[in-house]
Structure 1
Amino acid sequence: MIKLNQLFIEALPVIRKLEAAGYEAYFVGGAVRDFLLNREIHDVDIATSATPLEIKEIFSSTVDVGIEHGTILVLYKGQSFEVTTFRSESNYVDYRRPGTVTFIRSLEEDLKRRDFTINAIALSGDGQLIDPFKGQEALESKLIQTVGNPADRFEEDALRLMRAIRFVSQLGFKVEDNTMQELFHKAPLLQHIAIERITAEMVKLLSGAYNHQALAIALKTNIYKYWPSLYHNQATIQTALTLPIQQLNEVELWVLAVYLHKSKDIKNDLSKWKLPSKKIKLITTMYHFLLWRLENDWTSYSLYSAGFKIACSVEKIFTTIHKLNDTDRRLKKLKLEYEKLKIHERSEMQVNGTELAQWLNREPGPWIKNMLEEIEQMILDSRLQNEKMEIRKWVQSCQIPSEKN
């Protein structure tokens, strides 16, 4: 018997209420897997023999978040819990969605439809594990293995190809031999999957502590060939695998890919992944600072222009490219240099454009931007104090820009 943690205990009243009504109910899915691995969990899912309508009869406050697939959001004592009816699936279409969903009363049949054995373990409210497909054994062996025939599982839902290597990245597990063979044989099925879904898995893959292992498998099984850009290039991945990429986060790995791929149209390459425009802008900005950093040391102005977070990420990518082993020391030094800056953003300057126009009795124009940048540079280089009177003296004593500017 297993002692439940706090998140399970908070959801336990929902389990008990379903049981009191005569139905079976269990904790299932990733929460059970991560709990057994002593990994942090953030929410729990519940599976039950009660149908959606029966669930709605038991609980007074519910939301139909996916009722056609048996999922009801139960609102109970200020919290929300996803409760899904046991189901079987058949006649899969588009290598992604089941054409037929049938509500059933059997837990084992419900677990049978799941992707990997480590995700097919249920936990009762009394702390008993139900594990018909030896998921615990796979956890102990650190193995990614499908429930049943891997060819069938990947043909049912080709996104499972990405999920397999994503779990490798997150958990550091190996892929079972038969499952690995089918990753190779079924890789072409990924072309039937929406890019948005592939990207969601790729983001998690790049974020994993074992992203190096996952990319190596993607290369070995040809999964990478069905990615839309950047990491779809064999040379890009091969080069990345020679570098200490484990120290990079997801966004930094996109920047590295842009660099290794020698992308000529960054926005287009990133847009093929359907990444958010805000992230594309950030990656592009980081890439341009990286190109500068590869040719120069940080200066007060470049550090100020990049900002501390971007500068740190760029330095990490820089050390990765050069295979340097002093990243922590460099980041600490960068932090000290950043803290020493006279200003950290333009709003801290003791002057604005309106004041410049008043001091020089001039109409506003492009000259204001140019002069603010010059003042900014001088303050950062300690050639001018960031004090209003000092700035005003300098402005009024220097050569006044031509009206043509």
Structure 2
Amino acid sequence: MSQSDGSQNTYLWIGKLVMISLAPPFTKALSVMHKIEAAGFEAYFVGGSVRDTLLHQPINDVDIATSALPEEIKTIFPKTVDVGIEHGTVMVLWKGEHYEITTFRTESTYQDFRRPDEVTFVRSLKEDLKRRDFTVNALAMDQKGNIIDYFDGQTDLANKVIRAVGSPHERFHEDALRMMRAVRFISQLGFKMEKETIAAIEKNHALLEKIAVERIQVEFLKMLMGIGRKNGLLIFIETGLFKYCPGLRNHEKALEAFAKNQLNLSTSLSAWTFLLFYLEVKSEEVEPFLRAWKCSRKEIQQVETAYRALKVRMNRSLDRLELYQTGLEIALEVEKMAESFGIPVYPLQVKETYESLPIKSKKALAITGNDLISSLKIEPSREIGLLLEKAEKAVLEGKVGNETIQILNWLKEER
């Protein structure tokens, strides 16, 4: 029996097989699949791209798993790159595109709770899928659009459930980051979590200490920006995962309040800024807090700027100097943040005021330190920086025009 939901994908249910029409990212990769199969091997699309296809979500990249060994893949295709050959992954360069092809594999013990001590290549798709994290990710699709599902992943998709493949304790001991991935998927997909999987996270949460902060940060931010952020964050708190994330251990109540409020967290900037606001992080503590999360210098500066502006915006609009210091892009994002608290916002007025500023950066100021040295006969010193700041503020406030002579004469009178 076939049925169509009105979209481009048509489903055909045959026992545990579902046949669907392929989206463009899959069709572009079909010639790779054909070439592998023509050489006598199996090849399937696997993982997130298959899951998202069934959920009618956009597909960007596709992952391909195969029964061919890495060296066999390298003989099939003329151009390859060994991107992770020790774990069975070879990048194939084909018709202007690149595809990561990974051999079916099983894995041994994980002494560091992140990487297997040993990888064994196998010829069985089922054995390969058995080692994956969650049932909704343990799905495969062949070149004709047939879905292969050994672990009831489609049932869990239909019921909107995140469930570990097999024993959740084993899956989390293999890779402790999977615990963060679980709460991330709850948030990102708007799903709920199966009880045994929750219990296993609660029991094994301390293993998160074994995982690099950079990897935790990726999952954490995706969780904060998900459509089901409330449920994801509450499970993150309930299971104790928050205790093993930088700066969060003593903030359970603040995190619960953060989870329960309806906020517009559409970017990493808004996610970090709102988090700092709910944790009531002091301004001087923002930089070390974000550094502990391994944020980049640029991101730290942007978040510091947004956080400072949001605290002002909770009480009043930004004045011209504050708007200049904040910049238009961040100021407009802060307006969206303020709106989440029910504060009246004026994005058009912010834009108009910013556009009316006589200068948009220090580089646009009509004088330099050299002008001060030559015209005011000042020795190179800290006073030069203070005078430039004074001139910058005066120009922004309209006390003097942005012209070299005007500014110099004004500074002479003010000194």
1:275 paired to 2:299: no
CA contact (8 A) 1:248 1:317 kept: no
Cα distance, 1:282 vs structure 2 = 2.7
Alignment of structure 1 residues 206-285 onto 2, 5 Å:
206-230=224-248, 233-247=251-265, 249-263=267-281, 265-285=285-305
- Closer, same or farther: CA 269–373 of 1 in aligned 2, 3 Å: closer
- SS in structure 2 at match of 1:57: helix
- SS in structure 1 at match of 2:64: strand
Amino acid at match of 1:51: L
Aligned match of 2:350: 334
Cα distance, 1:207 vs structure 2 = 2.8
Alignment of structure 1 residues 70-89 onto 2, 5 Å:
70-89=88-107
| Comparing 263-272 and 364-373, the one that deviates more | 364-373
Aligned match of 2:210: 192
Matched residues in 1 for 2:382 and 2:206: separation? 55
1:61 paired to 2:79: yes
| Comparing 222-231 and 52-61, the one that deviates more | 222-231
1:289 paired to 2:309: yes
Aligned counterpart for 2:364 among listed residues 339, 342, 348: 348
Cα distance, 1:353 vs structure 2 = 3.9
- SS in structure 2 at match of 1:93: coil
Alignment of structure 1 residues 56-205 onto 2, 5 Å:
56-205=74-223
Which whole-Å deviations, capped at 9, do the CAs of 1:219-276 have from their partners, x for residues lacking one? Answer: 1222212222136620220221243234453232323333333335333332322222
1:29 paired to 2:42: no
Cα distance, 1:365 vs structure 2 = 4.8
| Comparing 16-25 and 332-341, the one that deviates more | 332-341
Matched residues in 1 for 2:275 and 2:225: separation? 14
Matched residues in 1 for 2:348 and 2:140: separation? 46
Cα distance, 1:393 vs structure 2 = 3.9
| Comparing 139-148 and 244-253, the one that deviates more | 244-253
Aligned match of 2:397: 381
User: RMSD over aligned Cα, in angstroms?
Assistant: 2.5
- SS in structure 2 at match of 1:373: helix
Matched residues in 1 for 2:219 and 2:271: separation? 14
Matched residues in 2 for 1:31 and 1:217: separation? 25
Identity %: 43
- SS in structure 1 at match of 2:227: coil
Amino acid at match of 2:299: K
- Closer, same or farther: CA 186–230 of 1 in aligned 2, 3 Å: closer
Matched residues in 1 for 2:314 and 2:167: separation? 49
CA contact (8 A) 1:123 1:130 kept: yes
CA contact (8 A) 1:267 1:280 kept: yes
Aligned counterpart for 2:405 among listed residues 388, 392, 395: 392
- Closer, same or farther: CA 242–134 of 1 in aligned 2, 3 Å: closer
Amino acid at match of 1:198: I
Cα distance, 1:40 vs structure 2 = 1.9
- SS in structure 1 at match of 2:346: helix
Q: Which runs of 5+ in 1 are unaligned?
A: none
- Closer, same or farther: CA 2–231 of 1 in aligned 2, 3 Å: farther
| Comparing 76-85 and 374-383, the one that deviates more | 374-383
Matched residues in 2 for 1:332 and 1:370: separation? 33
Cα distance, 1:319 vs structure 2 = 4.3
CA contact (8 A) 1:359 1:392 kept: no
CA contact (8 A) 2:265 2:271 kept: no
Matched residues in 2 for 1:162 and 1:393: separation? 59
- Closer, same or farther: CA 159–362 of 1 in aligned 2, 3 Å: closer
Q: Which runs of 5+ in 2 are unaligned?
A: 1-18
Aligned match of 1:41: 59
Which whole-Å deviations, capped at 9, do the CAs of 1:76-112 have from their partners, x for residues lacking one? Answer: 1221100000011122222222222111111111111
CA contact (8 A) 1:49 1:105 kept: yes
Amino acid at match of 1:301: L
CA contact (8 A) 1:231 1:237 kept: no
Matched residues in 2 for 1:346 and 1:102: separation? 59
Matched residues in 1 for 2:297 and 2:410: separation? 44
Aligned counterpart for 1:306 among listed residues 307, 326, 349: 326
- SS in structure 2 at match of 1:298: coil
Could you tell me the TM-score, scaled by structure 2's length?
0.86
Could you tell me the TM-score, scaled by structure 1's length?
0.88
Matched residues in 2 for 1:349 and 1:31: separation? 51
1:5 paired to 2:23: yes
Matched residues in 2 for 1:144 and 1:195: separation? 24
